[in-house]
């Protein structure tokens, strides 16, 4: 399909392991967001890209979290030295616009991370 | 205190019932108000979008925003079993070009019983 694609869909990591989560946004979309959704909670903002520029990373919980979008399309969220509290669904969203008001944001199905 | 408060439920209703879902918020600068539906193990999908105060209707769904009370609602008429999902309210500011990140409520789990 032409939606936002995320991989892997499910990942089990041992505590201390590094993980990388990939997002393929809708082709041509300028804006890309990462959100973290803990069980029973709403999504929480992590970071925002406009093309290849990371304009807002205020939601990244620690310096173990790192995101990149080097060519302005595919993005990777990397978590180093995973801890149990990192267990969550990581949602990627994209939008065709650079000024995003909320009605044009499309979410992927998420990457489910479990840290054991 | 969270910026956006939402009763997590769960809420169970019989088929055909009218469902009322609500959120309150504390930041008076929010201008865009959304309702998302999230099925189990799926990403959120936009259901309703409202700018500033007022009502918006789309089929069986009506969204209401009362900025003076900092309160938003979603009404579902003639509820169907296929409406069973988690409903998330979300809000954003208007910075005109800066990040308009969405601030979500915790979500309300709705079950419509056939």
Interchain proximity B105–A56, CB inside 8 Å: no
What pLDDT digit, counting tens, does each position of A48-84 carry? 999 999 999 999 999 999 999 999 999 999 999 999 9
Cβ of B100 within 8 Å of Cβ of A44? The answer is no
B54 pLDDT above the threshold of 70: yes
- For residue B19, the SS3 value is strand
Rounded CA-CA distance A74/B108 in Å is 32
Q: Is the pLDDT of residue A2 over 90?
A: no
Whole-number mean pLDDT of chain A? 94
pLDDT category, B107, cuts 50, 70, 90? very high
Which residue in the set A42, A59, A93 is minimally distant from B106, CB to CB? A42
Which parts of B1-114 fold into alpha helices (H)?
Answer: none
Given a cut of 90, is residue B14 above it in pLDDT? Answer: yes
Residues of B in contact with A43 (CB under 8 A): 44, 88, 102, 104
- Least confident stretch, A10-19, B84-93, B99-108: B99-108
Q: What mean pLDDT is predicted for residues A34-54?
A: 95
The residue in chain A having the minimum alpha-carbon distance to the alpha carbon of residue B44 is A107
Model pLDDT for residues B70-99, shown as the tens digit of each residue: 999 999 999 999 999 999 999 988 655 556
Q: Do A56 and B102 touch (CB under 8 A)?
A: no
Query: In sequence order, what are the residues at sequence separation of 6 or more whose Cβ sits closer than 8 angstroms to the Cβ of residue A53?
Result: none
Q: What is the number of residues in chain B? A: 114
Does the distance separating the beta carbons of A103 and B102 come in below 8 Å? no
Confidence band of A29 (pLDDT split at 50, 70, 90): very high
3-state SS of A39-89 is CCCCCEEEEEEECCEEEECCCCCCCCEEEECCCCCCEEEEECCCCHHHCEE
Which DSSP state fits B83? G
Tokens of B64: 């209401």
CB atoms within 10 A of CB B41: 11
Average pLDDT over chain B reads 91
Report how far residue A48's alpha carbon sits from residue A98's, in angstroms, rounded to the nearest whole number. 11
What is the chain B residue with the closest CA to A108? B43
CA-based nearest distance A41→chain B, Å: 4
CB pairs < 8 Å spanning A and B: 72
């Amino acid at each position: 399909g032409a939606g936002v694609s995320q991989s892997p869909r499910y990942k089990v990591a041992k505590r201390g392991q590094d993980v990388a989560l990939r997002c393929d946004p809708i082709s041509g979309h300028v804006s890309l967001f990462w959100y973290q959704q803990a069980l029973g909670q709403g999504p929480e903002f992590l970071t925002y890209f406009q093309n290849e520029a990371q304009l807002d990373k205020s939601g990244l919980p620690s310096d173990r979290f790192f995101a990149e979008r080097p060519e302005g399309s595919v993005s990777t969220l990397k978590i180093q030295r995973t801890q149990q509290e990192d267990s969550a669904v990581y949602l990627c969203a994209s939008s065709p616009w650079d000024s995003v008001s909320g009605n044009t944001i499309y979410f992927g199905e998420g990457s489910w991370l479990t840290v054991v | 205190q969270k910026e956006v408060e939402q009763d997590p439920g769960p809420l169970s209703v019989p088929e055909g019932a009218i469902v009322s879902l609500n959120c309150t918020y504390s930041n008076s600068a929010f201008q865009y108000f959304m309702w998302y539906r999230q099925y189990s193990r799926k990403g959120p999908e936009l259901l309703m979008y409202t700018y500033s105060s007022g009502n918006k209707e789309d089929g069986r769904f009506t969204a209401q925003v009362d900025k003076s009370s900092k309160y938003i609602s979603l009404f579902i008429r003639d509820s169907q079993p296929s409406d069973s999902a988690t409903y998330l309210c979300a809000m954003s500011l208007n910075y005109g070009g800066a990040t308009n990140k969405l601030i979500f409520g915790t979500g309300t789990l709705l079950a419509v019983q056939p």
